[in-house]
């Protein structure tokens, strides 16, 4: 039975009636397998079905517990306020037995979430107006969760967005030896990391406050209203956990300010767009100004510098370990991804003075 056939059988666990289901792949995620399910009769309703990657999330049930805590908190807060606009969040769709998930006979973990209709996502920021919408989405998420106790959430990915841990893993992999000839590109990548070792520990040594973070607020996890173009939702909530907002904001800027994209054909052409950065920060600060502290703002440049370096190191380490974490279409792709991120980190470093000025501005 292929994956689509399995998805069809699992999807029926999440529908009450028998009928024809239309299932197609959704998105291009590197971790989970995601499908859009349409119940064609009688309701024509749609929902998102996902098989959670248990190599990445060994305890996927904790993801659903976190999601319940998050959604209960956010919806209670939204019910108390009268904002003219706010973020939408997907509903958890339960099985016929009333469970938040389904485990198939092979032990794979599946869950279903409501589909947020009339929205779209983008792989590249179109202009400054769209960048402001991204800044609003992340800022609003942080505002909605600013009074949610981080201790009420499980850490579903221990070590995720803890940069010194990635460096330690890289060192362990290197200590075992390469096992294959070293190319010029690999030597460059290794030297790039070695020259920036102190950068990895800056945020963790700063004693910054722990908050609730999204964990993966890259551009294509922001849904935009298909009509107005305004940010409607921030999705992919599997990585919500206690952490530093710096990792969220840094990752968002890393994703959006690289106009060439993560799969750029020529890493030398990758650059960090200051105009997009300015637009995102302006909208982000408008939502977070009431609670973001001065010490947190002080370290924002360090986050912008660190996140492409961190992701590049993760790609590099996965390449050395045989591409176990990030899906690849061909050998060497994770090394190519690493080089793109390292080039982006270089351009951030070259713009340090300007980025620090932007992070000091008040909305």
Q: Using the predicted structure, report yes or no on whether residue 363 has a pLDDT greater than 60.
A: no
Q: How far is CA 35 from CA 38, 63, 156, 360, in A?
A: 10, 18, 22, 42
Of the candidates 190, 213, 8, 234, the residue with the CA atom closest to the CA atom of residue 110: 8
Confidence of residue 362 (pLDDT cuts 50, 70, 90): low
Q: Are 112 and 48 in contact (CB under 8 A)?
A: yes
The Cα 225–Cα 246 span in angstroms is 27
Average pLDDT over every residue of 38-65: 88
Q: Using the predicted structure, report yes or no on whether residue 44 has a pLDDT greater than 80.
A: no
Taking domain 3-117, whether its CATH number is 3.30.200 is answered by: yes
What pLDDT is recorded for position 329? 87
Of the candidates 323, 354, 355, the residue with the CA atom closest to the CA atom of residue 336: 323
Name every residue whose Cβ is closer than 8 Å to that of residue 318 and which is 6 or more positions away in sequence.
324, 325, 326, 334
Q: Which residues pair with 45 in a beta bridge?
A: 39
What pLDDT is recorded for position 42? 62
Domain ranges across the chain: 3-117, 128-360
The phi, psi pair for 188, rounded to 5°, reads -60, -45
The Cα 203–Cα 197 span in angstroms is 13
Tell me the Ramachandran region of residue 215: left when phi exceeds 0, alpha when psi lies from -120 to 50, beta otherwise. left
What pLDDT is recorded for position 325? 81
Q: What is the pLDDT of residues 72-92, one digit of tens each?
A: 999 999 998 877 789 999 999
Tell me the Ramachandran region of residue 159: left when phi exceeds 0, alpha when psi lies from -120 to 50, beta otherwise. left
The Cα 59–Cα 37 span in angstroms is 25
Q: Are 113 and 91 in contact (CB under 8 A)?
A: yes
Looking from the CA of 308 toward its CB, the CA atoms found within 13 Å total 29
Give Cα 134 distance to the centre of its chain.
13
List the Cα angle 107/111/115 in 5-degree steps. 155
What pLDDT is recorded for position 344? 97
List the Cα angle 87/16/239 in 5-degree steps. 35
Indicate the CATH number for domain 128-360. 3.90.1200.10
Per the model's pLDDT, the better-predicted residue between 34 and 260 turns out to be 34
Q: Are 128 and 79 in contact (CB under 8 A)?
A: no
Per the model's pLDDT, the better-predicted residue between 352 and 8 turns out to be 352
Q: Give the other-Cβ count within 10 Å of 335's Cβ.
A: 21
Q: Are 87 and 141 in contact (CB under 8 A)?
A: yes
Q: Give the other-Cβ count within 10 Å of 91's Cβ.
A: 14
Mean pLDDT of the residues in the chain: 92
Confidence of residue 253 (pLDDT cuts 50, 70, 90): very high
């Amino acid at each position: 039975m292929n994956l689509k056939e399995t998805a069809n059988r699992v999807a029926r666990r999440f529908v009450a009636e028998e009928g024809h289901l239309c299932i197609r792949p959704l998105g291009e995620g590197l971790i989970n397998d995601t499908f859009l399910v349409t119940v064609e009769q009688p309701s024509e309703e749609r929902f998102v079905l996902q098989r959670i990657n248990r190599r990445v999330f060994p305890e996927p049930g904790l993801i659903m517990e976190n999601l319940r805590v998050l959604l209960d908190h956010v919806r209670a807060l939204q019910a108390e306020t009268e904002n003219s606009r706010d973020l939408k969040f997907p509903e958890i769709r339960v099985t016929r037995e009333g469970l938040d998930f389904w485990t198939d006979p092979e032990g794979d973990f599946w869950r279903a979430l409501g589909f947020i209709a009339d929205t779209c996502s983008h792989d590249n920021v179109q202009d400054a107006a769209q960048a402001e919408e991204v800044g609003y989405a992340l800022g609003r998420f942080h505002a909605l969760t600013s009074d949610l106790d981080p201790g009420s959430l499980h850490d579903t990915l221990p070590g995720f967005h803890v940069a010194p841990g990635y460096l330690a893993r890289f060192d362990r992999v290197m200590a075992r030896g390469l096992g294959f000839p070293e190319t010029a590109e690999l030597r460059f990548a290794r030297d790039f990391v070695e020259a920036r070792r102190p950068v990895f520990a800056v945020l963790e040594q700063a004693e910054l406050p722990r908050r609730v973070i999204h964990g993966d607020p890259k551009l294509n996890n922001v849904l935009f209203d298909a009509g107005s173009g305004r940010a409607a939702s921030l999705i992919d909530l599997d990585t919500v956990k206690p952490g530093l907002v710096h990792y969220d904001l840094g990752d968002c800027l890393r994703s959006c300010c690289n106009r060439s994209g993560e799969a750029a054909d020529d890493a030398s052409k990758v650059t960090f767009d200051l105009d997009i950065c300015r637009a995102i920060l302006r909208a982000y600060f408008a939502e977070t100004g009431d609670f973001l502290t001065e010490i947190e703002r002080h370290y924002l440049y360090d986050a912008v510098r660190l996140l492409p370096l961190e992701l590049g190191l993760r790609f590099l380490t996965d390449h050395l370990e045989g591409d176990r974490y990030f899906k690849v279409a061909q050998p060497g792709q994770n090394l190519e991804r690493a080089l793109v991120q390292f080039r982006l980190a270089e351009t951030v470093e070259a713009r340090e003075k300007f980025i620090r000025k932007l992070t000091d501005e008040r909305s």
